[in-house]
Structure 1
Amino acid sequence: MTKTKVAIIGSGNIGTDLMIKIMRLSKTLEVSALVGIDPRSDGLERAARMGVAVTDNGIDGLVAMPEFADIRIVFDATSAAAHRHHDEVLQAHGKRVVDLTPAAIGPYVVPPVNGESCLDATNVNMVTCGGQATIPIVHAVNRVAKVHYGEIVASIASKSAGPGTRANIDEFTETTSQAICDIGGATRGKAIIVLNPAEPPLMMRDTVYCLCEPADPGAIRRSIEGMVAEVQAYVPGYRLKQAVQIESIGDNQPLLIPEMGQSFTGLKVTVFLEVEGAAHYLPEYAGNLDIMTSAALKTAEKIAERLPA
């Protein structure tokens, strides 16, 4: 079977991990080019050793490469600001784009939630690493009981956050918060990211808080556990760190959500997650990279299936 040729813009942690993941795991995609701006980056040097065409001249260098004509899907693993220009160039050349930045030009995609609904879009957005880890859980609660408020806290090892991630902190919170509503189904969403400098580095941890309508606690737990299994199908290191906690909030002590200007009763659902990376590029603690690149790979393979021959 002929593989669909792809390019990756961004030779940092995310782009390099994605390149190696595609080369090792994908039966339908082939990495034709890795694009960067630093000729001394480890990603470009590694790609060259592995036989992948490289350029350190950014998007202009990619367009000038002889391989560009046959490339059908381009992943962007740079920054939200850079992606806006990249997308303009790529759309002009008729390329399909999988955006791993928080630019959110195209529709949000979280594979187990809406992975089949946006495959014809010319640009799809993978939200953020925290969004890929937590939005499935918010959705799992919401499909049982309406979620009024969803809050997530993503804690990642500082060593796993490269320059692109650090440049996107503001966009991370804004994009993830919006996707908690648009994809997760919450009326209001809030996202927090913590770069943990601990040594040795800690694995990615995520906490999800949902305030929802009263419902059967057992049904909520089963929905969450089923969603965890769906994510594990493409991110094996994704798991519940402990049992789902559900607390009843009664009329005698309603919970005030200042951002919404009102108090609520119902159920407070708390979920603690851990994401262990597959160590394709960085060590196991970098689960934030693994879940992002795994989601992007799964989405691109689905897009490739629908491309005309």
Structure 2
Amino acid sequence: MEAVISRKRAAIIGSGSIGIDLMYKAMRSPHLDLKMVVGRSQASEGLSRARDLGIATSAEGIDFLAHHASGIDIVFDATSAQSHRINDQFFRKANLMAIDMTPAKIGAICVPSINLDSIVAERNVNLVTCGGQASIPLAYAIAQAFDTLEYIEVASTIASDSAGMATRENINQYILTTEQALRQFSGTGKSKAVLNINPAKPGINMQTTVFAKGRYHSLEKVKASVREMVVRVQRYVPGYEVVLEPVESKGYLTVSVTVRGSGDYLPAYAGNLDIINCAAIAVAEFNAVSWERTAA
């Protein structure tokens, strides 16, 4: 007799490109039951696609969720940092788990390859930024192999077409959030984050480079730590690949990865959007599986 999987009921707020791609990923998950997609425009492509798939939709945003909170367990918030701070007041009252796709910094910070186990009981989970999801695993792996880590710098380059209005409006918050999370996960006292938006046509794949300064005894140990971490990230982000293994130059260790998306809706070069969506699904599925085990 096959075991029955009790799926968590999910909703997405935000019907832009990220929300559309997230919708397809959530629908494919055996642990999630996507109940509704809400936005601000009835004519948006996201709501149109959701309606065609038989998913409940609304252009009333958080007001619609407020009237249907009893029918959902998890909310993916793909709006903006400012909107999430407002939305979370309702999520808290309704006791809904919120997976924050914005750099709002009000929830427990999660990078699935590092601390997924520790956030299972959290009500609000923050996914840092796309650059953070790409770079923090590397920074953490480097820190594990270093004796002391003095400084971490991260430079992410993304295609202009994959940087929507929310990304552009949130750049300052993006930098602050990424830098804070880098310090938290690597233990360094100093960090810097840079975001480059490249207008090249066709769009380029996301690329993230980490520069680290500190003391270590074995470059091979650093390389092994990075390789192990890359495998862990690839379990939920298949397009995450090293393009430059750790090398030392002028006192800095450098490592670089590229992120290619799965193409569920977004173009494959939009790895910056894909990686944060993949992280969101990983968090939601872990929560659902943990809930199933507890219920059993």
Give the TM-score normalised by the residue count of structure 1: 0.90
Q: Decide which of 7, 11, 16 is 1:12's aligned counterpart.
A: 16
Q: Decide which of 30, 33, 37 is 2:36's aligned counterpart.
A: 33
Give the TM-score normalised by the residue count of structure 2: 0.94
CA–CA distance in structure 2, aligned partners of residues 3 and 243 of structure 1 = 39
Q: Which residue of 2 aligns with 1:112?
A: 113
Q: Equivalences for 1:164-243 in 2 at 5 Å?
A: 164-243=166-245
Q: Which residue of 2 aligns with 1:70?
A: 71
CA contact (8 A) 1:138 1:186 kept: no
CA contact (8 A) 1:150 1:210 kept: yes
- Give the deviation of 1:184 after TM superposition: 2.8
| Residue segments in structure 2 that go unaligned for 5+ positions in a row | none
CA contact (8 A) 1:9 1:74 kept: yes
Paired residue secondary structure (2:245): coil
CA–CA distance in structure 1, aligned partners of residues 79 and 191 of structure 2 = 25
Q: Which residue of 1 aligns with 2:26?
A: 22
- Give the deviation of 1:45 after TM superposition: 0.7
**CA deviation digits over 1:53-85, x for unaligned, max 9?**
1111110122224xx312001111100000011
Root mean square deviation of aligned Cα: 1.2
CA contact (8 A) 2:222 2:246 kept: no
Q: Equivalences for 1:261-272 in 2 at 5 Å?
A: 268-272=252-256
Q: Percent identity?
A: 42
- Give the deviation of 1:248 after TM superposition: 6.3
Q: Decide which of 158, 161, 168 is 1:159's aligned counterpart.
A: 161
CA contact (8 A) 2:40 2:60 kept: yes
Q: Equivalences for 1:136-155 in 2 at 5 Å?
A: 136-145=137-146, 146-155=148-157
CA–CA distance in structure 2, aligned partners of residues 38 and 158 of structure 1 = 24
Give the residue type in structure 2 aligned to 1:283: P
CA–CA distance in structure 1, aligned partners of residues 245 and 98 of structure 2 = 38
Give the residue type in structure 1 aligned to 2:86: H
Q: Which residue of 1 aligns with 2:91?
A: 90
CA contact (8 A) 2:35 2:55 kept: yes
CA–CA distance in structure 1, aligned partners of residues 41 and 164 of structure 2 = 14
- Give the deviation of 1:196 after TM superposition: 1.0
Q: Which residue of 1 aligns with 2:282?
A: 298
Paired residue secondary structure (2:119): coil
- Give the deviation of 1:296 after TM superposition: 0.7
CA contact (8 A) 2:133 2:276 kept: yes
CA–CA distance in structure 2, aligned partners of residues 132 and 186 of structure 1 = 17
**CA deviation digits over 1:260-309, x for unaligned, max 9?**
xxxxxxxx210111100000011110101111000110011111233365
